[in-house]
Amino acid sequence: GQQLNQSPQSMFIQEGEDVSMNCTSSSIFNTWLWYKQDPGEGPVLLIALYKAGELTSNGRLTAQFGITRKDSFLNISASIPSDVGIYFCAGRKGGSEKLVFGKGTKLTVNP
């Protein structure tokens, strides 16, 4: 099935650094979602975006719905050790019930 192109695949950063990751598609999406998954757990919804150009924050996390509707970005500021995990983007096309997921960005934060 179709998947979104999520990059980078993995990141190794120092505590306190800012992080950026993105998700792109060849198709237009009407909804973008960002999830975080801890080992052995289910994905947890971080941010939902519904409008092109929308910028939404959740604490130290900020996500944007790209103007072209073909991409989305997630930024984490001042990273802390508990930010460790896998971050997934997900998108929904207009008229579709299905969510399409990226393959995830694995984040490691060194104290």
Partner 1 sequence: DSGVTQTPKHLITATGQRVTLRCSPRSGDLSVYWYQQSLDQGLQFLIQYYNGEERAKGNILERFSAQQFPDLHSELNLSSLELGDSALYFCASSTTGGPNEQFFGPGTRLTVL
Tokens, residue 90:
């997900």
CB of 15 to partner 1, least distance (A): 27
Sole binder of partner 1 in the list 64, 72, 74, 102 (CB under 8 A): 102
Question: Is residue 100 involved in binding partner 1 (CB under 8 A)?
Answer: yes
2 vs 104: CA distance, rounded Å: 14
Compare residues 39 and 111 and give the one whose CB is closer to partner 1.
39
Concatenate the DSSP letters of all residues of 46-102 into one string.
Answer: EEEE-STT-EEEETTEEEEE-TTSSEEEEEE-S--GGG-EEEEEEEE-TT----EEB
50 vs 52: CA distance, rounded Å: 7
Question: Is residue 33 involved in binding partner 1 (CB under 8 A)?
Answer: yes
Question: Is residue 60 involved in binding partner 1 (CB under 8 A)?
Answer: no
Sole binder of partner 1 in the list 104, 105, 107, 109 (CB under 8 A): 104
CB of 75 to partner 1, least distance (A): 21
CB of 108 to partner 1, least distance (A): 18
Sole binder of partner 1 in the list 28, 98, 108, 110 (CB under 8 A): 98
88 vs 105: CA distance, rounded Å: 7
